[in-house]
A and B are shown apart, each in its own frame.
Chain A
Amino acid sequence: MRSPTDLREAGSSLVEIMMSIGCGAIIIAAVLTSGVALQRSYMAVEGYSMAEGDQLRVQDYIALDCRRALSAAVVNNTLTLLVPKYYDAAGAAKTPTYTTNGAIQYSGRVVQDAVTTLSSSSVTSATANFTSADVGKVVVISNFAVGTTISSVTNATTAVLSSSSTADGTAQSLQIDSSVIISYYQSGTNFMRSVAGTAKAIASNVDSFTVNPQDLSSSVTCSITFAPRFVYLPGPGPVNGTTVFSNTFLRNAGARQ
């Protein structure tokens, strides 16, 4: 048989449960709100960190390659740089040499008797000894655009290049396979770095990319706008993107004296 005291205790539990439920709801609401706020804060910080990383990486990549580039070109908002190959196939650093006009070169097959013809993509050289293995290799020669490659080999003395000559020329210096082409451009929302034709995204969430094509003989100016990663804000209005600038002196192409 149960005592009356037990029944009174049961009645008190109802009030306590209701109060507990109320308190619990408040606590859960606070926890949920805090959790959401914490998560948003975390996402904001993470987004900022990722954006900063992307911005620094893009700037550092462009600066690194521009500083060491032999030449630069801008076509269709794509920045193309010619960077010398520094190591040989055995992994040994190459020894630099002078070209006939006093410039420094690091590697590659070099001939000094190349002949070019205005508006022609053919180049001839009695000493080049072109072979089919040269197809696709980068060449460095006056009167041709930066990044020109060998499209086909006609015979040992004649090759067809991927661009046309801008002038007649004789006794031209022709470097074969001495450099690698590095390009920067925007592809969708990715910012791409292409090395010898192999592209890789080095940043994402890119809204726009602009290269200043002026004065390529001494400097290259780029601006890259990143779309915001964290867009939730309590106030109205759009969230601005972040634009970073890169202005790099072409140390191998400009006047230093």
Chain B
Amino acid sequence: MKISTKNREEGSVLLIAFLTMTILTLICAVSLNVASQNANSTTQTTSWQQALAGAEAAADQAMNALNTTTWGPTPQWYTVTGTLPTTQPTGGTAANGPPGAGQYNYCIPTPMTLAGEASNTMSMWVTVDTAGLPVNSSGLQGYRIRAVGSVGAPGPARVSNQKLDNDLRKIALITDRMSGQSVGTQPMATRRIELIAVPVTRSIWARGISLKSYVNMSGGGSVDSFDSSNSFKSTNGLYDVTKRQNHGEIATVNSTGSDLRSTYVYGDVQYSGPAIKNTTNVQGKISTPFAATIPATVDPTTSTWWDNSHDGVQQQSYFNGGNYTSYSGGGSPPVSSITVNGSSSSPDLIKINGDFTVPGGQTFALTRPGGSSGTQKYVTIWVTGKFTTSGSGVINQDANVHVVWIVDGDITTSGGSYNNQSGLAGSVAFVGVGTSHKITVSGSANFIGTMNAPGFDATISGTGSYSGAIIANSLTISGGAGFHYDEALLLAYGGSSSSSNFAYASWFEDNSAPTRGQTY
């Protein structure tokens, strides 16, 4: 009998070859599948991160429109009456200003072209509306900015193999989670952010205390605010502790050496530099940096004088001023009384060459002409030396007189020796010019006024308080002295009812999935 050995050998080779190829094919397939899933996960991650950049770029377009009041033509904004859309808006009329109540403006910026791997296009759209927000305490409108950025997520419409990613990166594989619309064949990464833009006033009296260097506090005093123009926040225009407000802000450009010693501050504290010590009792927010530039003060010239705007920037033409008089300074007032007859636009101009001193037992009066009851009068007084009231010396300033003191030397006064009969900080403004000078406010009576002296080191002591606002190089508050920022200064001097600048008040990203109970 013949055995067919050759036939069996040929069959084994074929089988082994087939099995080997099958195994290799399976290995390749699994490897390719895993590699593909990893690639899919990577592209979804990058698309998700790029989508935020798109949304923020769109929000920047909105901030630019608000700040520049430019609503077209590049890019063109449109105004639509109705509620905010959940899908990319259409229609409307060309916008010519910010939206009013019940309206929204929208813009669809030109999509950005991306290069390289992953998606190659980033699209975005943004809306601006009032969101029913009331105007703020300065009467200015805030706006809601809602921006959406979308980037395609290349690859098949399948969930990431990084299972834990799915709660974070909500890639739209079939439908968009916010609009419910189909995304077609291209999975999308879409992110939506919502910002509240609030108007920012540019007055130098936007806060109570603005400093170039340290702030030191001790004793039982505190920093808070009130509003002399609001009877709910003051009593007869004066500070009332029972109506205390929480806008006693402190800001310093260089906080080196600052120590609040756990003194109560009813407001925010902003600083640049090392952390301010002992801020336990700061009732507001503490934040850094405070990257502001405090403008320097300058003496009047033959062409310009300080006017009564108190904003530290505006000056009036000397030649448009009111009556001009000059005196020689010294150890006593050059005259016992000055009758002020200037107007707000043309205040009287007085120059005192040398020191202005009201020694003990003497008085100096700033009055208004007889028969001018109720008429506000204005004067600007330039003291080229020191300003000093000492002992029982008193300056009596009529309730209807407004004065700007420009002082080139040390300023020494007290609440008891400066009788601001209006009781309003806006009626007395000191402008300190130069550096390495001092401001000393002491005594048991309240000083009411403002001081813009960025080169001066200020000390507030005694049991009296300071009502108004101050700009100085440094500030030391000791004893029981309290500092009360008058919020009325914001609008009265420099605050504007028409805003020209906006800042973010809140920033929120909607990563929610309401249908899954995620409401944040």
Instruction: Please list the residues of chain A having a beta carbon within 8 angstroms of any beta carbon in chain B.
Output: 38, 42, 45-46, 49-50, 53-54, 56-57, 60-61, 64, 67-68, 83-89, 91, 93, 95-98, 101-104, 106, 142-143, 166-167, 169, 180, 200-203, 214-215, 217-218, 251-257
Contact = CB atoms under 8 A, between A and B. Distances in A.
Contacts of B505: 102-104, 256
Contacts of A103: 505-506
Interface string B480-520: 00000000000000000000000111111111101100011
Given A57-B162, A86-B519, A167 B283 contact: yes
Contacts of B281: 167
Given A60-B168, A64-B168, A97 B133 contact: yes
A198 to B, nearest CB: 10
A64 B508 contact: no
In this complex, which of B34, B287, B289 has the most chain A Cβ atoms within 10 angstroms of its Cβ? B287
A93 B286 CA distance: 30
17 contacts: A53-B41, A60-B48, A67-B509, A68-B507, A83-B520, A87-B514, A87-B519, A98-B133, A98-B136, A104-B196, A166-B280, A167-B281, A169-B283, A255-B270, A255-B285, A255-B287, A256-B503
B133 to A, nearest CB: 7
A95 B131 CA distance: 6
Interface in B264-302: 270, 275, 280-281, 283-290
B90 to A, nearest CB: 20
A143 B411 CA distance: 39
A257 B510 CA distance: 24
Contacts of B402: none
Contacts of A88: 519
A191 B504 CA distance: 32
B331 interface: no
B50 interface: no
Contacts of A143: 283
Contacts of B136: 98, 102
Contact of A217 (B246, B288, B504, B520): B288
Contact of B507 (A42, A67, A217, A257): A67
Nearest to B38: A49
Contact of B288 (A45, A49, A97, A255): A255
Contact of B133 (A57, A61, A93, A96): A96
B165 interface: yes
Nearest to B283: A142
A217 to B, nearest CB: 4
B27, B137, B507, B508: residue with the most chain A Cβ atoms closer than 10 Å: B508
Interface string B47-77: 0110000000000000000000000000000
Contacts, number: 126
A143 B507 CA distance: 23
Contacts of A50: 162
A44 to B, nearest CB: 13
B24 to A, nearest CB: 10
A93 B131 CA distance: 11
Contact of A251 (B168, B283, B504): B504
A68 B512 CA distance: 12
Interface in B137-187: 137, 142, 144, 162, 164-165, 167-169
B360 interface: no
A255 to B, nearest CB: 4
Given A57-B165, A96-B144, A98-B134, A84 B508 contact: yes
B45 interface: yes
Contacts of B506: 96, 103-104, 251-252
Contact of B246 (A68, A84, A101, A253): A101
A85 B519 contact: yes
Contacts of B445: none
Contacts of A254: 287-288
Contacts of A93: 194, 510
Contact of B511 (A64, A91, A218, A251): A64
A167 B269 CA distance: 17
Given A86-B520, A96-B131, A60 B49 contact: yes
B272 to A, nearest CB: 10
Contacts of B280: 166
Contacts of A89: 519
Given A91-B519, A142-B283, 8 more contacts: A84-B520, A95-B132, A102-B136, A104-B506, A202-B164, A218-B289, A255-B288, A255-B289
Nearest to A49: B38
Contact of A87 (B144, B246, B504, B512): B512
A183 B247 CA distance: 31
Nearest to B206: A257
Contact of B520 (A60, A180, A203): A180
A88 B165 CA distance: 25
Contacts of A49: 38, 41
A217 B134 contact: no
A43 B343 CA distance: 85
B32 to A, nearest CB: 12
Contact of B510 (A54, A86, A104): A86
B288 A257 contact: no
B165 A53 contact: yes
Contact of B512 (A86, A97, A217): A86
A103 B198 CA distance: 10
B165 A85 contact: no
A215 B514 contact: no
Contact of A85 (B142, B200, B520): B520
A99 to B, nearest CB: 11
B306 to A, nearest CB: 26
A167 B263 CA distance: 12
Contacts of A215: 275, 288
